[in-house]
């Protein structure tokens, strides 16, 4: 299969409601080296998953993602050095990382939050309207940017303050609480200016009865229980229908959005101005991601194709008729030479970016619909979420070299090979209706996790190596489909569906 224009119109939506027929796959037991310089190995068995009925999503929270770039320890191969966190002291006296708690600041949309993405670390150079990132009192602080997209047709950029100075005075708690206070006016254009106390009464704000979920951990260990709604730093408005995905460029200069209006848009991350509109898909655009060089954008659509776009001019440079059902997730590996795509047809495919050749096809036992796909930051693994309530980590390089160049299994006119080795399986969250995000949490070498949303309204943290659940984060009032983890700060973001509509943040 190569890059080409696909003929014909989109498949009727009614055909998307039933997953494709299951196919048989062989269970295997795999021993993998969990570092780039193998010193330890971990044994994991492939589960025997099953296909479940996919319910139609009435909102737009069906997504996927993970940025390339850094390398993680263990499976994802990062060399030591954890990043910062909310507060100075990440670990308890016994050496174990502090548990994540719900921070008191939150954002809000008019409708379901469908996608969420933290800006890469390079975003620290950004400014809004000439405003400096330094605190007014001269303290050393970090501002983390997070973009969220919604079924209301807007995307918003939130600025989350974190403190790294060692001042443990009560004034710090007062300052931080004031810093995140959204004040009057409706966040997300909602109008009416609902304050935090009203949100708590309506069930959309953090409950004051649960101190563990409403405490803001500060560097000294002090907490404040005030709850504050954030005002967005930017509001990206222009799509005529709901937005399904949002993605930062690796340079943090641009934001891309994918929409049900069949287009993608490129926005300035500093001013919020729309630069380019990408037209060419014939059905909902479901997923988008930048390549590491920020000059290409890949998209996946309900029209069953994967398209590659020139960011500078907005032209489609290649179209791949990739799947037989909607494409639910796309991603580049860390050097941009390969693309991964996932689909409701149950298949995960790896493509050569330059030629459009399909290098490998993998699928889970029972062929469940794929809701999300992400390359690991070292490019050796693909994390997929499927509608049987499981996350699977596939080793693309077993018996080969590094990254995608070792997955080439096809040649000439021979039939495309299928199958692949599942190195890890994570289960415990609920996922049978929607496409749910997952992300790698890697900033703290003591706590490397896979983070997943869930239809039960919780966020699940799975230990990367043991596959056990490390923590369940409770704070939303509806299904959580959008999650992400910052690349250098121990910070998790999550977004709830229509009965919640909130963007929430979690930190140790």
Would you state the structure tokens that stand for residue 324, as one six-digit string? 């037989």
Higher per-residue confidence, 85 vs 459: 459
- pLDDT of 222 higher than 50: no
> pLDDT band at residue 436, thresholds of 50, 70 and 90?
very high
pLDDT at 84 over 50: no
Cβ burial of 237 (10 Å; 0-12, 13-18, 19+) is: middle
Percent of the chain with pLDDT over 70: 60
What count of other Cβ atoms lies within 10 Å of the Cβ of residue 412? 4
Q: How far apart are CA 333 and CA 438, in angstroms?
A: 16
Structure tokens at 302: 């309900």
**119-120-126-132 Cα dihedral, nearest 10 degrees:** 90
Nearest-Å Rg of the Cα atoms of the chain is 21
Task: Select the more confidently predicted residue: 235 or 163.
Answer: 235
Q: Grade residue 363 by pLDDT with cuts at 50, 70 and 90.
A: very high
Q: pLDDT band at residue 17, thresholds of 50, 70 and 90?
A: very low
Judge whether residue 310 has pLDDT over 80: yes
In this prediction, residues 435-454 reach a mean pLDDT of 94
Answer whether residue 127 shows pLDDT above 60. no
Higher pLDDT, 377 or 118: 118
Give the start-to-end residue ranges of the domains of the chain: 13-129+140-507
pLDDT at 224: 41
pLDDT of amino acid 421: 86
Residue with more model confidence, 225 or 20: 225
Structure tokens at 366: 């029972």
**Can you say how many angstroms the Cα of residue 300 is from the centroid of all Cα atoms in its chain?**
15
pLDDT at 396: 87
Average pLDDT over residues 137-158: 81
Is the pLDDT at 302 greater than 80? The verdict is yes
Q: Residue 109's pLDDT is what?
A: 97
Position 70 pLDDT exceeds 80: no
Calculate mean pLDDT across residues 165-187.
38
The Cα–Cα gap between 122 and 92 comes to 29
Q: What is the DSSP letter of 189?
A: G
Q: Which two tokens stand for residue 427?
A: 């289960």
More confident residue, 329 or 74: 329
**Secondary structure letter of residue 89 according to DSSP:** -
What confidence score (pLDDT) does residue 93 get?
A: 60
Q: Write down the pTM of the prediction.
A: 0.73
Beta carbons of 311 and 295 less than 8 angstroms apart: yes
- pLDDT of 447: 92
Instruction: Tally the C-alpha atoms within 13 A of residue 391's C-alpha that lie toward its C-beta.
Output: 33
Mapping DSSP to helix (H, G, I), strand (E, B) and coil, where does residue 200 land? helix
For 74, which DSSP code?
G
Lowest mean pLDDT among 15-29, 243-257, 263-277, 455-469: 15-29
Identify which has the larger pLDDT, 34 or 324: 324
DSSP code per residue over 98-159: PPPEEEEEEEE-SS-EEEEEEPPGGGGG--BTTB-SS-TT---EEEEEEEEEETTSEEEEEE
Contact 145, 118 (CB under 8 A): yes
pLDDT given for residue 102 in this prediction: 95
The pLDDT value given to residue 474: 97
The helix or strand, by DSSP H or E, that contains position 229, with its residue range, turns out to be strand 228-229
CA–CA separation, 382 and 8 (whole Å): 31
Are 341 and 300 contacting, i.e. CB atoms less than 8 angstroms apart? yes
For residue 491, give both structure tokens: 């910070």
Task: DSSP letter for 303, please.
Answer: T
What DSSP state is assigned to residue 66? -
Q: What is the DSSP string of 378-394?
A: TSSEEEEEETTTEEEEE
Q: Provide the pLDDT confidence category of residue 123 given band limits of 50, 70 and 90.
A: low
For residues 147 and 378, which has the higher predicted lDDT (pLDDT)?
147
Strands 306-310, 296-301: parallel, antiparallel or unpaired by DSSP? antiparallel
pLDDT at 97: 85
Mean pLDDT: which of 80-94, 165-179, 433-447, 453-467 is highest?
Answer: 453-467
SS3 201: helix
Q: Name the architecture of domain 13-129+140-507.
A: 7 Propeller (2.130)
Query: Over the chain, what is the mean pLDDT?
Result: 73
- What are the pLDDT digits (tens) for 184-208? 333 233 333 333 333 333 334 433 3
**In the predicted structure, residue 334 carries a pLDDT above the cut 80:** yes
Calpha distance 64→482 (Å, rounded): 8
Residue pair 479/454 in contact by the 8 Å Cβ criterion: yes
Q: Is the pLDDT of residue 414 over 80?
A: no
More confidently predicted of 38 and 150: 150
Report the percent of the chain where pLDDT is more than 90.
55
């Amino acid at each position: 299969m190569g890059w080409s224009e696909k003929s014909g119109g989109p498949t009727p939506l009614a055909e998307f409601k039933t997953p494709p027929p299951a196919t048989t796959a062989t269970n295997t037991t795999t021993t993998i080296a969990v570092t780039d310089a193998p010193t330890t190995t971990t044994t994991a068995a492939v589960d025997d998953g099953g296909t479940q009925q996919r319910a139609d999503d009435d909102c737009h929270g069906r997504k996927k993602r993970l940025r390339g770039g850094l390398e993680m320890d263990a499976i994802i191969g990062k060399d030591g050095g954890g990043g910062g966190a909310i507060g100075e002291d990440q670990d308890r006296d016994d050496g174990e990382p502090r548990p994540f708690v719900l921070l008191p600041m939150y954002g809000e949309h008019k409708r379901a939050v469908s996608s969420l993405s933290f800006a890469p670390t390079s975003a620290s150079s950004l400014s809004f309207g000439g405003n400096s990132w330094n605190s007014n009192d001269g303290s050393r602080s970090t501002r983390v940017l997070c973009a969220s997209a919604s079924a209301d047709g807007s995307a918003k950029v939130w600025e989350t303050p974190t403190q790294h100075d060692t001042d443990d005075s009560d004034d710090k708690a007062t300052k931080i609480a004031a810093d995140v206070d959204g004040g009057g006016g409706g966040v997300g254009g909602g109008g009416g200016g609902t304050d935090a106390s009203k949100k708590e009464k309506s069930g959309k704000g953090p409950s004051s009865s649960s101190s563990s979920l409403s405490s803001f951990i500060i560097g000294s260990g002090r907490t404040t229980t005030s709850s504050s709604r954030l005002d967005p730093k930017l509001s990206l408005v222009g799509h005529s229908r709901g937005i399904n995905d949002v993605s930062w460029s690796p340079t943090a200069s641009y934001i891309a959005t994918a929409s049900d209006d069949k287009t993608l848009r490129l926005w300035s991350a500093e001013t919020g101005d729309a630069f380019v509109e990408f037209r060419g898909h014939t059905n909902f655009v479901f997923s988008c991601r930048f390549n590491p060089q920020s000059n290409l954008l890949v998209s996946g659509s309900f029209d069953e194709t994967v398209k590659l776009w020139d960011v500078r001019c907005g032209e489609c440079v290649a179209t791949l008729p990739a799947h037989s059902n909607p494409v639910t997730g796309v991603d580049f590996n860390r050097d941009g030479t390969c693309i991964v795509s996932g689909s409701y047809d149950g298949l995960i495919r790896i493509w050569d970016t330059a030629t459009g050749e399909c290098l490998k096809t993998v699928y889970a036992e029972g062929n469940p619909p794929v809701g999300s796909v992400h390359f690991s930051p070292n490019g050796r693994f693909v994390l997929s979420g499927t509608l049987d309530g499981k996350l699977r980590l596939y080793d693309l390089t077993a018996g080969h070299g590094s990254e995608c160049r070792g997955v080439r299994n096809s040649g000439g006119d021979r039939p495309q090979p299928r199958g692949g080795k599942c190195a890890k399986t994570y289960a415990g969250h609920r996922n049978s209706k929607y496409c749910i995000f997952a992300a790698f949490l890697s900033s703290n070498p003591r706590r490397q996790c896979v983070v997943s949303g869930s239809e039960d309204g919780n966020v699940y943290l799975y230990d990367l190596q043991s596959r056990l659940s490390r923590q369940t984060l409770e704070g939303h009032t509806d299904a959580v489909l959008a999650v992400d983890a910052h690349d250098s700060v121990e910070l998790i973001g999550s977004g709830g569906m229509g009965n919640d509509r909130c963007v929430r943040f979690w930190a140790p």
